[in-house]
DNA sequence: GCATTAACAGCCG
DNA sequence: CGGCTGTTAATGC
């Protein structure tokens, strides 16, 4: 069972629930921790729970038949995912890796389905989330071929600041260049150069182990 | 060629 | 001190 303050802190959807729904959600959530580079689940796993990131940074990725792996989304604290798998009761279609020590919240399937059945607010959240993820995947399909490493870096960085997925708007994120490299599928050195380029264009500002977003719109649209 | 790994000095917390 | 950054050199596809 999760403390009320913590649930509100890591789950924006919980703030719109009725008191009864909120309590039901609390009772259905437990935690699990993963070390850096640990696999949270593989393709085909029957991870039965709806999943949230309480602390840390997680990469959601697929591997094509040719062996190339593409990041579907970087997930930071406050992100929730896996509803498709829970609703359809099918195995996961993607792989989840902790990019740093992370604490993961797991909501029992029965609790998720109860909220799905009873709470309009919960369903509203799910629809908005589906919309944003769909937009991300479309952008991935569109630009997969054309973006260079700096472009992929810009896109993955912009995803981490999606205002619908992460409504607690903070323009600065604590993230190392190595972690951003792992998200974009490039080396730390390339991430370093790409970030320097994005900073020189005035899209972001670099700190020591952190990035501040200056112009999210242009960052999301960055090409070549 | 371009990106990756390896290596290292410098700096920040 | 430990981790992150910025840069260069060597290596690989």
| 8 A C-beta contact, residue A49 and residue A107 | yes
Domains A4-136 and A147-220 share a fold: no
Give the pTM: 0.93
CB-based contacts of A203, cutoff 8 Å, min separation 6: A154, A213, A214, A215, A218, A219, A222
Closest residue, by C-alpha, to the C1' of B11? A208
Nearest alpha-carbon partner for A12 in A158, A118, A128, A175 = A128
pLDDT tens digits along A8-31: 999 999 999 999 999 999 999 999
Taking the CA of residue A172 and the C1' sugar atom of nucleotide B7, their distance in angstroms comes to 31
pLDDT tens digits along A58-69: 999 998 777 788
How far apart are the C-alpha atoms of A191 and A182, rounded to whole Å?
Answer: 9
Taking the CA of residue A176 and the C1' sugar atom of nucleotide C8, their distance in angstroms comes to 21
Report the topology of domain A4-136.
Jelly Rolls (2.60.120)
What are the C-alpha distances in Å from A34 to residues A145, A183, A189? 33, 17, 26
Q: Where are the domains of chain A?
A: 4-136, 147-220
Whether CATH 3.40.1190.20 fits A147-220:
no
């Amino acid at each position: 069972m999760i403390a009320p303050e913590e649930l509100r802190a890591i789950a924006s959807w919980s703030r719109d629930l009725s008191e009864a729904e909120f309590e039901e959600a609390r009772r259905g959530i437990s935690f699990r921790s993963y070390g850096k580079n640990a696999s949270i689940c593989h393709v085909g796993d029957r991870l039965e729970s709806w999943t949230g990131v309480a602390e840390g940074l997680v990469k959601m990725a697929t591997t094509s038949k040719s062996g190339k792996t593409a990041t579907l989304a970087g997930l930071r604290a406050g992100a929730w995912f896996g509803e498709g798998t829970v609703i359809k009761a099918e195995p996961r279609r993607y792989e989840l890796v902790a990019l740093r020590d992370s604490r993961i919240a797991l909501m029992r399937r029965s609790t998720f389905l109860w909220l799905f059945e009873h709470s309009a607010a919960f369903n509203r959240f799910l629809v908005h989330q589906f919309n944003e993820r769909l937009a991300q995947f479309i952008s991935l399909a569109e630009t997969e071929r054309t973006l260079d490493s700096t472009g992929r870096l810009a896109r993955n960085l912009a995803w981490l600041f999606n205002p619908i997925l992460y409504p607690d708007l903070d323009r600065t994120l604590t993230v190392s260049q190595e972690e951003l490299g792992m998200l974009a599928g490039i080396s730390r050195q390339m991430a370093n150069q790409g970030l320097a380029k994005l900073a020189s264009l005035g899209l972001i500002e670099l700190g020591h182990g952190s990035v501040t977003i200056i112009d999210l719109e242009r960052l999301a649209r960055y090409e070549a």
